[in-house]
């Protein structure tokens, strides 16, 4: 079989027929990057809000949440986390744009968008302790801490927008009795080369169709 596949002198229709039996590994995932500004517990009265940490700190906590949507490819999601981590944690990473007009500046490096040192943490007990509205839609959760300014979340997202195989939406907002947030939706799509493609490149046009 391998020797036949190496023979590029076979008619093109024969290669096409063989290629139709090759399963293409296509990975995809939906990612949400969110800055929460509300209370996941729902509506609280003025008195109840005094004892609720989320209510008292609305618009003050600068944590950013990264969620993997239900059914998404976890390896592809991890590729995204690794890619943005290189930019976020690099203290010498230069910002592409000037964001000083959003707040007191200047903002020259990625670290300048945050008030504190930056950490990216996977929530290992997410499935046991996540909020019900999170567990309903998402499988994995990461938290980027460092207390980013609320007005600079848009800028932060724009700096991460250009990553191969990941397509980011414009900034969106959502307000309900459960939560108020700004978020980006990122769609990950990636074809994975199969072994037969490595043996015979002619299969690329059959097993890896254009998007």
Return the minimum-mean-pLDDT range out of 12-26, 81-95, 176-190, 196-210. Answer: 196-210
Instruction: Please check the confidence at residue 55 and state whether its pLDDT lies above 90.
Output: no
Taking CA 40 as the corner, what is the angle to CA 38 and CA 43, rounded to the nearest 5 degrees?
Answer: 75
Is residue 18 assigned to a domain? no
Task: With beta carbons less than 8 A apart as the criterion, state whether 169 and 184 touch.
Answer: yes
At 6 the pLDDT is: 46
Residue 3 lies in a domain: no
**pLDDT reported for residue 3:** 47
Percent of the chain with pLDDT over 70: 68
- E strand residue ranges, 70-137: 119-122
**Domain total for the chain?**
1
Q: Is the pLDDT of residue 90 over 80?
A: yes
**Phi–psi pair at 6, nearest 5 degrees:** -75, -15
Tell me whether residue 44 is in a domain: yes
Lowest average pLDDT, out of 91-105, 136-150, 151-165, goes to 91-105
14 located within any domain: no
Report if residue 19 sits inside a domain: no
In a domain, 16, yes or no: no
> Which segments within the chain are labelled E, that is strand?
25-36, 64-69, 119-122, 138-145, 166-168, 172-175, 180-192
Measured CA to CA, the distance from residue 136 to residue 46 in angstroms comes to 28
Is 142 a domain residue? yes
Look at residue 143 in the predicted model and tell me its pLDDT: 93
Identify the domain containing residue 69 by its residue range. 27-205
Say if 129 falls within a structural domain: yes
């Amino acid at each position: 079989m391998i020797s036949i596949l190496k023979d590029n002198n076979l008619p093109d229709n024969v290669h096409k027929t063989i290629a139709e039996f090759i399963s293409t590994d296509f990975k995809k995932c939906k990612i949400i990057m969110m800055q929460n500004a509300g209370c996941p517990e729902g509506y609280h009265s003025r008195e109840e809000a005094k004892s609720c940490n989320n209510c008292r700190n609305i618009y003050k906590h600068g944590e950013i949440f990264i969620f993997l949507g239900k059914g998404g490819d976890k390896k592809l999601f991890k590729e995204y986390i690794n890619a943005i981590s290189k930019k976020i944690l690099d203290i010498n990473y230069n910002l592409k744009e000037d964001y000083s007009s959003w707040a007191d500046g200047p903002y020259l490096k990625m670290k300048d968008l945050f008030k504190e040192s930056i950490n990216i943490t996977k929530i290992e007990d997410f499935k046991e302790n996540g909020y019900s509205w999170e567990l309903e839609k998402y499988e994995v959760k990461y938290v980027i801490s460092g207390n980013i300014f609320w007005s600079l979340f848009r800028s932060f997202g724009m700096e991460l927008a250009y990553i191969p195989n990941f397509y980011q939406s414009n900034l969106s907002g959502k307000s309900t009795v459960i939560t108020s947030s700004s978020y980006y939706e990122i769609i990950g799509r990636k074809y994975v080369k199969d072994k037969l493609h490595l043996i015979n490149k002619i299969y690329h046009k059959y097993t890896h169709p254009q998007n």
